[in-house]
Structure formats: structure tokens, C-alpha cells
Amino acid sequence: EQFAGLIDGGADLLLLETAHDVLNLKAGLAAARLAFKKAGRDLPVIVSATMDERNKMLSGHDAEAFFAAVEHFPLAAIGFNCSTGPEGLGLRLERLAARAQFPVFAMPNAGLPDENGRYLQTPETFSAVMADYAAKGLLNAAGGCCGTDPGHIKALAEAVKGIKPRAPRASGPWVVSGVEALFFDEIEPPAMVGERNNSIGSKKFRDMVAAGDWAGAVALAKAQAAAGAHVLDVCLANPERDELADVKTFAPMLARAVRLPLMTDTTDTAVMEEVLKTAPGKALLNSVNFEFGEDKPRAAAELVKTYGAKLVFGCIDADKTHGLPLDAGRKLAIARRAYAFLTGECGLQAGDIIFDTLVFPVAVGGEHAKTAHETIKAIEAIKKEFPGVKTILGVSNVSFGLPPASREVLNSVFLHHAVKAGLDLAIVNIEKLKRYAGISAEERELAEDLVFARRPDAAARFAARYRDAKKGPAAAAAPDASPAEALRLAVLGGTRAGIAEAVAALLKTENPLDIINGPVMRAMAEVGKQFACGDLIVTEVLQSAEAAKAAVTALEPALKAQKAPRRGRVLLATVKGDVHDIGKNLVGIIFESNGFDVEDLGVKVAPEDIAAAAAKSRPDFIGLSGLLVRSCEQMTVTARELAKAGLDCPLLVGGAALTPKFTETNIVPNYKGQVFYAKDAMEGLNYALRKVSAA
């Protein structure tokens, strides 16, 4: 009603400013869209958030999560206003400018008010800081908020005169979000979708919902997040219950409890809309298809445009004979029809669409025997024909009906080949993923015979191999294996079973440091090689890192008993935008084992948070890690923040994409102290030991 009145009154522009809650912004944009429809014309829309000293909105969203929640709308501009003075804008502007396909602006206050409510920042100081942002290519427009007056604006106009405006991105990135944003270019595919909060697929979850055990249902979601899920699947469909009422109860709880993007799995568009109203970011809509015609897909697409979401489209149509397509050709044909319908009639972008090529139980045999291979071929064909879309699968469907012990093996082998074909998202039980690299050659061959339908008796042979086996972890090392070999295999397999016993046996004859630098590090080196060649996914590498950490924990009493001198304090972090912590964890293990106290800040740590932690603890060394190309630039930003905080202790940097040249030309000039590029954990340790010895 407010927007309708503004439109009727002759407004030229709609500005949603000083936003501190993403849900308010989403509601405002949805209302604007509705008002435009009723008026029969659109107005330009600008959104502006306000953030605190932590670079967060009151709802907890940072600049990237704020952007992710609103980037579905064709904005005239996006930016920040109010809050602190211009000095606090740098990091949030850098993040927004790097991602946004829209013009970016800033309208800060003239500093913070004093106790009498006076803003004391002068026009000269205000305009100098803003001009610096403009010169760095971060701004398309600039202005002032509280405390600024005509003098500030005049000085600002003079300061930015002649500076070339920022060039917006040609297109937006692929992103979904909760309180935190998940950019697809920041992860190693596939993105893992936790499947356990699903009433259809999980009896445990269904029983929790029936009993009103919402706390247990939330705990289930938290466990999946802790295990490494990127997205959480939520399905409350149950013929014995009111799905919409359950969603209204559970979705807000889930949004408060976990920071991950949500994927609602439902055929009811009212349920879809309720989740989108509640989700604190860009969610995903699942279970959309042509089974009952085009009305529901059309309605779902309208929700995508109204609230911002990704649409998961299942390759199903209304054909009475082949509605559930078993072959790649039919799957591709339905995907073609859906793509034309969604991008043409419905006005979606390619990046809004995720195709589910569907996988069926291969053990059924008959016409289903070749369906796993056909699904893999369909993924490859769709990715080739429609490069802008993503693909998704409910992986565990492939093994339905097989002996429990065999299902995890088949799921893992099938997932491995689907990812090689181009699978982007995988719906899985993240807590029970079996490691592909840990599957024996014999088991792989049996599973691949079934996946690729290489022989008519493939299902029978595969099932027979596991019929008498119990579901559980992979077999331990052979009984006659040496303690060192048992420890190596445990770390390699990502299991803690047997680690304590192997460590105890080794300590009878070995020095604890030699145990770490021997079997533990040899195993992690092998894990790194398997990851590099695609035999392991990130989640599995993390399991090995946890096993290595368990070995170090078991060795701690012996390490302390040696009474080795403490050599200093190390602060470690994986930089902003990067979730990979394998290398960082190894560095932590090695440094701790060699007499250093280690403080690990975790992953995706913002530059200002690293600087704040370092200023508080005053470490002797700071270590920055990151796998991605973008992480290199984040290390530069972090070095600059550390320097601004007055820190100058040695800075160790490392990561797969980082090079000595980039370190020398980009990171070193932005830091006051010494910067050391370490190609691996041991090189970093040796540098630190040399520095300590020379002190």
C-alpha cells in the first residue's frame, strides 16, 4: 500500500535504506514487485543496508549475504548508508563491488556522534576517504548520511570529480544463502545437500516431527551442518499431518539455528512460499516438474522472481508411458522443454535453474538396469547444452533395495562418476558418506559393473558380495599390521578406530614427534595426492584431517612429558570466502607438535576478525591459508587490515593458488612486518623455528 501510494503520487524512485534485517528487505522487494504489477509500470529500486563495526547487519548478514538475498531483483543500485563513518566501509565495499552486477554506492555518516549528538568529521576528511574508495574502483555513486551537510557533499563532489566509476560485473555470480552466502565458485563440487530433515526419506525425522520434538529436529540439522553440508534439504510432507502448519513451526526455528541455505522439498506452492518468506536469504525450491502440466512450474517460477530462489526442476512430464524417463535422451528432451519454458515464458535466467536428472534403484533390474548410466549421460548432455544451469541428484536412490552394507559403496562410486560428468549438487547423508578412495579395487569394479550395466548378473554379484556383511566402517588394518601401518591406514581411511591403540604401541619404542612426522604425515601426504587426482572429495579429506588430529591428541601426554620448551604462539585462519581448512589443520598439528601454542580461528574468517584476534592475543606468528584463487586477494586485504591494527609479527601465507610472485608483489607491500610464503606445512615450521632460534 505504501509503494502504491508513492507510485500514484508521482515518485521517480523507490529507496529501501538503512536496512538492518534481510527479511525486511526481502518483504520490501516483494511488495515493490506486487505494487508494480498493480500499477502496470516499474520504478527504479535502490537498496541500502547499514552495518555495525563487525561489518554485519543486525540480522547477522555480512555484505555478501546481504547481496545474495536481494540480487534477484533488477536493482538500480545497491550499497550502504548510515552506521559508522566512511573509514569503516572499506571491507564491505570491496566484497560488494567484487560480486555485484549493479552499481554500488556508499552514503556513510560523518563519523560517530559525540555525547552531545554532534558529528565532528570534517568535509575534508570525509571526502578524502570516500575519494580513495572511488579511486580503487569500488564506487559508482557517493553521498552522505547523518551528520553530513552541504559542505560535506560539496567537498565530496570535488574530491571524486574525474574519477572513473566502477564497472559493474556483466552478470551476477551463482549464489544461494542463509545468514551466510554460498558462492559456487568458492567450493569444490559437488555442493553437499544434507538429506536427513526429510519426512519422506528419514523415519527418524518423521517420528521427531510427529512427536513434536522440534529440538531434536533442529539438532539433526546442526549435525549435518557440522559434518560439512553446504545446504539443508527440508521436507515436511506427511499425509497424516498439516504440512503448511509444520513448516510455519519448523522453518523459523531452522533459520535461527543454522546459517546454511535451505532447500524446501515440496509439491505445494503455499509451502514453498512460506519457506521463502522465512528463509533469511536465497533458498532453493525442489520438486517442480511437468507431471501435472505447466501451472505449478509457472507458479514456482513466479515465487523465484518474487522472493529470490533457485528452482530445482525434475526431468518428469505428463507422458503416460515415459513420464518418468529412464534414458538420457528423454531426460534431455524434458530439460530442453523446461529450459525453454522457464527462460522464455516465465522469465527466469539460466542460473536460476537446477536440473534433477533423476536416478532410480538399479538393483530392480530389467528396464532399470541401465538407468544409473543414463542419468550420468544426461548430466553430461545437459551441462554441455545449457552451460549456465546446475545439476542435482538424490544420490542414495541408486542403491535402494540393496543390502545395507553395500549401499554406501554403490552411492560413493555412483557419486564419483556423476561428479566427473558435471554434477553440481548432491543430496546425501553427509554423515555416512563412504570414501571412494577407501573402496577396494574389487568393490569398485563390482559397483561399476552395476552403475554402467556392464554385465547381466551385475546386481546379483554385487549384492552377494555384501549380503552377510554388516553396515559400518571400512575394515581395519590386518591383525598382523605394524602399529605404524595401522596408524597410517586409520588416518588414510578417515577413522579414529584403532588410533589410540596404535599410538600406545608406538610410544613404547618411538619418540612422539617421530610418530607425527612419520606415519601420520605420510598418510596425510597420500590423502593430498588422492584429493588432487579426484579420488577423494573435500568432506573425506576433512575426515582424514580429524583422524590425524585424534592421533596428535593421543600423543599429547607424551609430548608434554618431554617438557619441550614452548616456542611461541601461532594464530591460524583460512581467509574470508574459503571453506578449505585441510592445509591449515596440518599446519596446526605440526606447529603444536613442535612446541608452539596454536590458536585456530577456523574457516571463512573475515580480515577484520583476524586483525581483532591478533590484536588481542599478540601472537608471534600469523598463518593465513586458502585454496582458491580469490583467497590470494583476501590475504592481501587481511595483510592490510593487520597493518592498520598495528601488527607486524611474521606473516606466513600458503595455499594451492598462491605463488611466491603474488606474495611478493601483492601481500608484502600491504604489511608492515615480514611475509613468508610457505609451499607446505613443513616449510612454514622450519621458517618459524629459524626465527625463534635467531631471536
Give the residue numbers marked as catalytic. 578, 580, 631
How far is 415 from 204, CA to CA, in rounded Å? 24
Q: Beta strands of 289-333 (E only): which ranges?
A: 309-314
Cell 610472485 found at: 661
Cα radius of gyration rounded to whole Å, the chain: 27
**How far apart (Å, rounded) are the C-alpha atoms in residues 529 and 547?**
17
CA distances from 340 to 166, 276, 333, 626 (A): 34, 25, 11, 39
Hey, is 16 helix, strand or coil? strand
115: which 3 cell numbers? 555525547
Q: What beta strand segments (E) does 333-489 contain?
A: 353-356, 390-394, 425-428
DSSP letter string, 133-146: HHHTT--SEE---T
**CA-CA-CA-CA torsion sign (168, 169, 174, 180):** negative
CA 476 distance to own-chain centroid? 33
**In sequence order, what E strands does 39-153 have?**
45-49, 77-82, 104-108, 141-142
| Sign of the CA dihedral running 318, 322, 324, 325 | negative
3-state secondary structure of 67: helix
Identify how many contiguous H helices and E strands the chain contains and give both numbers. 26, 20
